[in-house]
Structure 1
Amino acid sequence: MSAQATAVGTVERAEAFAERILGGLDDAALVLLISLGHRTGLLDTLAALDAPATSTQVARAAALDERYVREWLGGMVVGGVVTFDPDDRTYRLPAEHAACLTTGAGVDDLSLFTRYVSLMGTIEPEIARVFREGGGVGYEAYDTFQELQRDETARVYDVALVSDILPLADTLVPRLEAGARVLDVGTGAGHAVNVMARAFPNSRFTGLDISTEGIGLARAEAEQWGLENATFELGDAAELTGSYDVVTAFDTIHDQARPADVLAGVRGVLNDDGVFLMGDIDLSSRLEENVGAPMAPLAFAFSVFHCMTVSLAYGGAGLGTAWGRQRAQEMLTDAGFGLVEVTKLEDDPLNVYFVARP
């Protein structure tokens, strides 16, 4: 290949990459607008309207200021989310768009994820600081994280935890029906525990987390639901005590300051005939195998802006995305689990589940 042809190819690749970045900027701005639409209820309001509506009608239905609503609608129109009729100045959210942008979409609602992007933006100065100084950023800096986690995972737990996720561990559901002692490690806002406690009244559930905010939310929900078989404790997951028939951990082990100690502790409190069900992000421990994987850049962003830095803030290993399928299996084996099954749900491309037994 001639030097001229090489130069032309380099220019073309540079232009194509620049176009990609420009498109990414547009998409990032659209994500922030969608986040705002979720937070203010505008997306749900548009979906509930029976006919195309003016900005005044949309604002009135959402109980919001018309001028702000009109500007937001403009962004939604140029971003291809909302349609606009210039003759009568009306807006409409197509049903096929509402199917992944409104709370009515259930587990298919992606609008809640956009709020994580907004949260990452607010924490960016602190992340830049620890890039220079080392260390990490603690939970106290993430003022809405526990609430977002609760709302995001609730959609999945409400629909699939009892019917699809728990049955991944053979015999687990009958055991919970009969009555078992269950510990949920890194319970966050405790919604998984409360869902299980309501579904299996003969079992007793304990949720453990280091977050005061999370435990407060968990206890409030348990009280609201009238659950007498769900309790929540503030504590370090690396210092487990007690004896349990079942231990669960959903999307939390890779965040831990001492993940190896946590897994060893799980094995220590788990009865010899018990089962450990662990769910986590479905990434490979080998970076090259994650290229092109669904939402992999988002997973790495989550790691930089939360998972890794929170672990480092407490003097931890900061596993981040180094925690993947292969590393997880190795650490479970090192913790003393003799049998580890790795499985996925057909409709869940983001998570992988490990069923570990002593």
Structure 2
Amino acid sequence: MDGEKVKEFLGRVVADMAATEAAGSVVVGQRLGLYRALAEGPATPEEFAERTGCHPRYLTEWLRGQAAGGYVGYEPETGRFSLSEEQAFCLASPEGPNVPAAFLIALGMLRSEPRITEAFRTGAGVGWHEHHEDVFVGCDAFFRAGYTAELIPHWIPALEGVEAKLTAGGRVADVGCGLGSSSLLLAEAYPHTTVLGSDYHTESIALARKRAAEAGLADRVGFEVAGAQDFSGTDFDLVAMFDCLHDMGDPLGAARRVRGALAPDGTWLLVEPLASDRVEENLNPLGRLYYSASTFLCVPSALSQPGGYALGAQAGGAAIRDVVTEAGFTRFREAARTPFNLVYEVRP
């Protein structure tokens, strides 16, 4: 045994333990608005307490921990903590990637650890609806930031003829819509288009309906509680699925339903996590993130449903192509990609 390699490995363990424990502090910062408050300007813990109304002793430990992780800057000469422009963009800006929401997902899914541990022994599933609400809220908040940056500016224009149809007034089905952020983005961008969002999770659909009403879009955006294999409607110009096909126990049934719901010249916009077909090419930090989430969320969700599939978050393009081809689609291409997603255009 190589002692230096042991030390190297333990160093990695310390970094992982620190990151794991720090997740709670990030979520505290999000819930209390601490990042937004620090973005207003540098502050000592005492000054920060006055700004936030929180206890200075807790804030001292929180600020120091954030600085140790590189999430916050520290100036020894003044004792003040601050956010750089880049940190503030990622942690506090409404236009940023909403990094804290990713940690909210992580804490939410880890609450299910006892059930997931037991599922390893039994092979049973754990449904999406059985997780803590932080998973649903966190996923919506985190993924909404990415969809806002990519969906209308990049993904829709990458699909052949779709933007013109939606501009003129098209019909869209947003399958597995969750809290409806993607549905609302499409309706806001294309005021002549109608959108039907569907999801099997009743609580998510209730929130989606509330958001549509608050946005003044309820006349063009409807929501229904329905699975991906039995959502209503036909003759859609666009069916969209955002980061959800791999969560389904019966993705083949879902693909066949999409095939039947599309207009003859319709398009299926299928967004999936970035992954290679080769396992060894997924053995990197992003792959680790996705495999961990898949172990707690995606695979248990699929195993809780009939159908016999459990693709997982790192299924890769070949597995997705196999499903859509078996469902009767003849055209399948990668239309776009981001550091986190693969975007497919699928046609009959």
Task: Confirm or deny a common fold (TM above 0.5).
Answer: yes
> For residue 105 of structure 2, what is the aligned residue in structure 1?
116
User: What one-letter code is carried by the residue in structure 1 that aligns with 2:156?
Assistant: L
SS at match of 2:289: helix
- Mapping 1:123-138, distance limit 5 Å: 123-138=112-127
1:127 deviates by: 1.2
Q: Which residue type is aligned with residue 165 of structure 1? A: W
Give how far 1:87 is off.
5.5
- 1:297 alignment partner, one of 264, 288, 292: 288
SS in structure 1 opposite 2:36?
Answer: helix
Question: Counterpart of 1:324 in structure 2: which amino acid?
Answer: G
Task: Specify whether residues 79 and 198 from structure 1 end up closer, same or farther in structure 2 by C-alpha distance, changes over 3 A only.
Answer: closer
Write out aligned runs for 1:77-156 (5 A). 77-86=67-76, 88-104=78-94, 106-107=96-97, 109-138=98-127, 139-156=129-146
1:231 counterpart letter in structure 2: G
* Equivalent residue for 1:288, pick from 265, 280, 305: 280
What is the match of residue 40 of structure 2?
Answer: 48
Partner of 1:276: 268
Q: Tell me the percent identity.
A: 31
Whole-Å separation in 1 of the counterparts to 2:125 and 2:135:
16
1:268-293 CA-to-partner distances (Å, cap 9, x unmatched) read 1112211111101011233122123x
Aligned letter for 2:37?
T
1: CA distance, partners of 2:78 / 2:204: 47
Give, in whole Å, the separation in 2 of the partners of 1:103 and 1:212: 30
Rounded Cα–Cα distance in structure 1 between residues aligned with 2:71 and 2:142: 22
* AA aligned opposite 1:299: Y
Structure 1: unaligned runs, 5 residues or longer: 1-6
Pair 1:61-2:59 in alignment: no
Q: Is 1:235 matched up with 2:229? A: no
Shift in CA distance, 277/175, structure 1 to aligned 2, threshold 3 Å: same
Partner secondary structure for residue 178 of structure 2: coil
Q: Give the Cα–Cα distance (whole angstroms) in 2 for the partners of residues 80 and 265 of structure 1.
A: 47
Query: Could you give the per-residue CA deviations for residues 69-92 of structure 1, whole angstroms, max 9, x where no partner exists?
Result: 222112123333333345554322
| Equivalent position SS for 1:155 | helix
Counterpart residue type for residue 251 of structure 2:
P
Larger-Rg structure: 1
* Bigger mean CA deviation after superposition, 197-206 or 149-158: 149-158
Pairwise CA distance, 1:332: 1.1
- Shift of the alpha carbon at 1:303? 0.3
Counterpart Cα distance in 2 of 1:353 and 1:271: 20
**For residues 279 and 118 of structure 2, what CA distance do their matches in structure 1 show?**
25
Distance in 1 (alpha carbons) for counterparts of 2:340 and 2:78:
42
Q: Deviations over 1:89-117 (max 9, x none)?
A: 4322233432432235513x423212222
The amino acid across from 1:220 in the alignment is K
Label 1:15 to 1:133 Cα distance change in 2 as closer, same or farther (>3 A): same
SS of equivalent to 2:339: coil
Partners of 1:48 and 1:206 in 2: CA distance: 40
User: Residues 24, 322 of structure 1: CA spacing in aligned structure 2 closer, same or farther, 3 A cutoff?
Assistant: closer
Contact map agreement 1:32 1:117 (CA 8 A) in 2: no
Q: Deviations over 1:232-264 (max 9, x none)?
A: 000111124421221111101011121110011
Query: Equivalent residue for 2:297?
Result: 306
- How do 1:194-213 and structure 2 match up within 5 A? 194-213=184-203
The alpha-carbon deviation at position 331 of structure 1 amounts to 1.1
Partner SS, residue 182 of structure 1: strand
Aligned residues: 344
State how far apart, in whole Å, the 2-side matches of 1:79 and 1:321 are: 28
Query: Residue 326 in 1 paired to residue 318 in 2?
Result: yes
Query: Quick one: distance in 1 between partners of 2:169 and 2:12?
Result: 55
Per-residue deviation, 1:66: 2.6
Q: Which of 260, 264, 271 lines up with 2:256 in the alignment? A: 264
Query: For 2:22 and 2:201, how far apart are their aligned partners in 1?
Result: 32
Distance 1:17 1:173, change over 3 A: same
Please, what is the CA RMSD of the aligned residues? 1.9
In structure 2, how many angstroms separate the alpha carbons of the residues matched to 1:157 and 1:81? 24
C-alpha spacing 1:70/1:105, structure 2 compared with 1 (3 Å)? farther
For structure 2, the 5+ residue unaligned runs are none
1 CA distance for matches of 2:266 and 2:102? Answer: 34
Pairs within 5 Å for 1:8-19: 10-19=2-11
Cα displacement (A) at 1:177: 1.1
> 1:246, 1:274 within 8 Å by CA — same for their partners in 2?
yes
* CA distance in 1 between partners of 2:198 and 2:94 (Å): 31
